[in-house]
Structure 1
Amino acid sequence: MEYSFENVRTSGAYGIFNGFFVFQVGPTENGDKLGVVRLGGHSEEDESPLDTVIREVLEEAGIKVNPINSPFTYYLECHNQANKIFMNESEVVNPILIKGNKEELFSVMYIALAGNEPHPSSESKGLLLLSPKDVELICSRKITLNEFLKQNGYAKLKDNFNKDLVLEPFPQLIFLSNLLKQESNYIEKAIKSSTVGNDQSFI
C-alpha cells in the first residue's frame, strides 16, 4: 500500500461521547430512506487529515474532538476485504481505517473522543447517538427511525423528519459494526475512556 497523508481526500471520525458513537442522519438522495452517515468531509487546501476531521466534526456536530492513535489500522482497497496493518509509529495519530488507493486518493477514519455534548449544526439535519447495541441493530435489520426512538434510541433532530423511513447504514457504520466484533477489547476501552474524562492512558 503506497499510502501518504498528502493523498488523503476525506477524513472522518467515529466520535464517541459519553459511551455513544455520534453519526449524522438525514434523507438519502432518493428521499426514501434515512442515511446514517459518519461525521467528516473533504480536506481543504494545505489541511492535514487530522486538521480536516477536527474542523469537520466541529462544523457538523459542534463537537471539539480529540482523535486518538490507533495501535492498528485496517486498509480497504475499493470493495475488497479489509486487511489489518500496522502503521509507522512516527505518525502523530494513526487512523483506524484507510480506504482507497493512490490513484483515486484515500479516505481515513479516526477514533475520536468528544470533549462536549454534540448538537446538530447548520450542516447537519440531525444526529444519532448510538450504543454498540444500536450499531448492531441498525446494521442487522431494517428499522425505521420511529422504531429506533421507541426502543429508547437517542437522537437529536433539527428538521421535521419522516420518522417512518428506514435507517440506512452507510459503509463507515457497517465497518464499525465489524470492528465491534473483531476488536471488541480496544473499542470497549475507547468507549470507557469517553465516560471518564477522556483519559487516553489505555492507548
Structure 2
Amino acid sequence: MRPAGQNALLEAARQEFAERGFGSASIRNIAARAGMSLSAMYHYYSGKQELLHALLDEGMDRYFASVDAELQAVGGVDAAPADRLGAVVAATTRFRAEHAARSNILLLEERSLEPERLERYSRRQADATSLFRDPIEAGITAGEFHTPYPDEARRGVIAMCNAVAQWWRADGPLTLDALVDRHVELALTLVEYRPRRSFAARGRA
C-alpha cells in the first residue's frame, strides 16, 4: 500500500503525461495537480524519470493482474490453447478500454526511459508478449491452430487489442462486452483455430 501522497503524485503524473507527453510535462504542474509542493514531491520521487518508471511499473502490474484473473477463470495454464488465448485477448481488450490513459503511457512513453530503466521495462514487455505467444505455440503443437504465420498472427492480435486505447469510447455504438467477443473471435480466426473433433467417437456414444 502506497501513502496517499504518493498515489496522488502518480495520478497527477499520469494526467500530465497523458495530456502533454513526457517531454513537455512539467514537474511543477505535476506537484500542483497533486496538491503538494516541489519539496514534498521530491520526498517521494527524484523527478520525471522516476515518476515515469513508477507509472510504467504500476501499469504493468495492473495489466498482468487482470490477465491472470481472466486466465484463472478458464483454468489457468492447463486450459485449452484457444481458451488461454481468448482469455488474454479479452483481458487485454478490457484493460486498454478501461485504462486508456494508463495504456497509452505504457504503449508510447517507453521511448522516454533512460537506458537502464528501459532495459528492465523491455523485459516486462517481453513477458507480456509471451502471454500471447505461449498459447499460440501450444495451439499449433496441439494441431488446433493452423496458421503458417504464427508470429504475424500474434503481432496482429496484439496490435488489434492495443489500438483499443486509441479509439474505443464508452458512449460509442459498440459495447465493451461486444468488442471483447469480437476480438476473441477475430484472434481465433487469425490463428486459424480448428479444434479436433472425433465423429467416430461421437457415433459410438
**Superposition TM-score, scaled by structure 1 size:** 0.25
Higher relative helix content: 2
Higher relative strand content: 1
Larger radius of gyration: 2
Query: Which structure exhibits the higher relative contact order, with contacts defined as CA atoms closer than 8 Å and separated by 6 or more residues?
Result: 1
**Superposition TM-score, scaled by structure 2 size:** 0.25
